[in-house]
Amino acid sequence: MVERLEQRIAGLGSAIVAFSGGVDSSLVAALAARALGDDALAITAISPALAHGELDGAQRVAEAIGIAHETITTDELASEDYRRNDRHRCFHCKTELYGRLTEMASKRGYSAVLSGANADDAGDWRPGLQAAEDHGVLHPLLELGVTKRQVRELAAALNVPSADKPASPCLASRIPYGTPVELTTLQRIDAAEKAVKALGYRELRVRHHGDLGRLEVGREELARAKRQSEAIERAIRGAGYDRAEIDPKPFRSGSLNQLPVWNADSSVAHPRMTRQTGAGSPPAPRR
């Protein structure tokens, strides 16, 4: 599979990788470095929705796998559509990101922009995939049917440092749909998660519910969290929440998708989510 992925990427000639430092984008970046050498570039977007420590982690991974690494600053909070936080929030966020990256690719002569989307993403609610299609972004892992489990296996085989790193999506994913995304809310979530991690927890989310911060931790850490509930709740309140609690169920990705959408303006026209072909124009070849 590594050879097939490298051949796919090598055939592009050059590429920019949308690089968060998570295992998916780290694997794509490592493959791009192997296949393209100096013609591969990893770019990390910095915004208030990037969790504490994620940039440092991305920089360490880029150095370890030997890919050139740069950062850009995105401003999705400037978009009313993004701040409204309906179920298409990720579409607006990724539109900002991929618009910036494809523009950079065109100006600097990279032939493609790559993402870390994998085969499992195709069966989940991923409006960001529509934004990717609109901008001609390619997904080598998804194209070749690589699942999340296989991503971790391949990353480990290639000695990618983030092979066993827990997923860490943007901080806005902790906010229920219909609750506006605000800078102060993102900062509060970030501070709460940082405080809980300082207590030794690895896989977690602090879900934002107004003045309540509800912690989800991984299954293996849940029993310990319950024993340390007072310290954990104190840490979350110290980050600015009036109330704090530990979810009795273990962490599960996308749990907020199961909640009703409050305050959402149903009159707002949502971007299309249908599949298209041939979306986006390829950037100019790199010189």
DSSP assignment string, 142-157? HHTT--HHHHHHHHHH
Tell me the C-alpha distance between 43 and 97, whole Å. Answer: 10
Give residue-wise pLDDT tens across range 86-97: 999 999 999 999
| DSSP one-letter code for 258 | G
pLDDT at residue 255, rounded to an integer: 52
From 55-64, 116-125, 176-185, 244-253, the region with the lowest mean pLDDT: 116-125
Residue 212 in contact with residue 241, Cβ under 8 Å? yes
- Taking residues 165-172, what's their average pLDDT? 92
CA 23 and chain centroid, separation:
10
Tell me the C-alpha distance between 32 and 160, whole Å. Answer: 13
Q: Does residue 184 surpass a pLDDT of 60?
A: yes
Give residue-wise pLDDT tens across range 207-261: 999 999 999 999 999 999 999 999 999 999 999 999 999 999 999 775 554 444 4
Residues in CB range of 68: below 8 A, 6 or more apart: 38, 40, 41, 42, 62
From 28-37, 115-124, 147-156, 220-229, the region with the lowest mean pLDDT: 115-124
Tell me the C-alpha distance between 239 and 213, whole Å. Answer: 9
Element (H, E) at 237: helix 229-238
- Taking residues 180-185, what's their average pLDDT? 98
- Taking residues 266-272, what's their average pLDDT? 38
Q: Strand 113-114 to strand 243-246: parallel, antiparallel, or no bridges (unpaired)?
A: unpaired
- Taking residues 103-115, what's their average pLDDT? 98
pLDDT at residue 126, rounded to an integer: 83
Tell me the C-alpha distance between 98 and 72, whole Å. Answer: 12
pLDDT band per the 50, 70, 90 thresholds, residue 282: very low
Residue 116 in contact with residue 5, Cβ under 8 Å? no
pLDDT at residue 252, rounded to an integer: 77
- Taking residues 98-121, what's their average pLDDT? 97
pLDDT at residue 256, rounded to an integer: 52
pLDDT at residue 274, rounded to an integer: 37
Q: Does residue 148 surpass a pLDDT of 70?
A: yes
pLDDT at residue 127, rounded to an integer: 87
Q: Does residue 268 surpass a pLDDT of 60?
A: no
Percent of the chain at pLDDT exceeding 70: 88
